[in-house]
Amino acid sequence: MENKKEKYLTSVLFAIYFLLLIWIILFKGNVNFEFGYYRKINLIPFGGSLIVNGKLQLDEIIQNILIFVPFGIYICMLKPKWSFIKKVMPAFFTSLVVEILQYILAIGATDITDIIGNTLGGIIGIGIFYIFKKLLKERTNKIIKILASITTIIVVSIFALVVILNK
């Protein structure tokens, strides 16, 4: 069982991840934000914006899945007593809100495939957490927190470098 300090660290790591997630999805990792230049909706799963020259572009689907894997892991750490469906819903709703914001702010394509991929990423993260829990038992949260801390330091350092280089 986690104590309050450990739960606080998990919450801080999740908040940093969440801010970076929003920055990456909404602003495509750019430092200079430009609103109102691109607005498109695709309600056909795995169609429309993902088909280029008649071929399905899997890179974007895979990236959308991968970026939400930590979301599922963090939800499991923060809300261990929630049911599986209750753990999936925050990933789904976060993705839905981000896609709607992209449309409202005209900063990207609103795509049902992104929502599907992001939600799948959250589900995969939940699955990875359950596998870690089976293998590592009570040490799961501690080991994931160590890995998340190291990853967060690296990603925040890269983000700071990008900001500095774009000035």
Mean model confidence pLDDT for the chain: 87
Closest to 111 (Cα-Cα) out of 34, 44, 51, 27: 44
- Greater confidence (150 vs 54) lies with 150
pLDDT at 33 over 70: no
Handedness of CA 139, 75, 71, 15 (dihedral sign): negative
Give the Cα separation of 144 and 119 in Å (integer): 21
pLDDT at 13 over 80: yes
pLDDT at 36 over 90: no
pTM: 0.85
On whether the CB atoms of residues 64 and 91 are closer than 8 A, the answer is no
Residue the block writes with tokens 């071929």: 55
Give the Cα separation of 69 and 107 in Å (integer): 24
Q: What is the pLDDT of residue 126?
A: 97
Closest to 124 (Cα-Cα) out of 56, 53, 76, 55: 76
> What values do phi and psi take at 37, rounded to 5?
-110, -15
Q: Which residues of 135-154 are buried (b: 16+ CB within 10 A; e: fewer)?
A: eeeeebbeebbeebeeebee
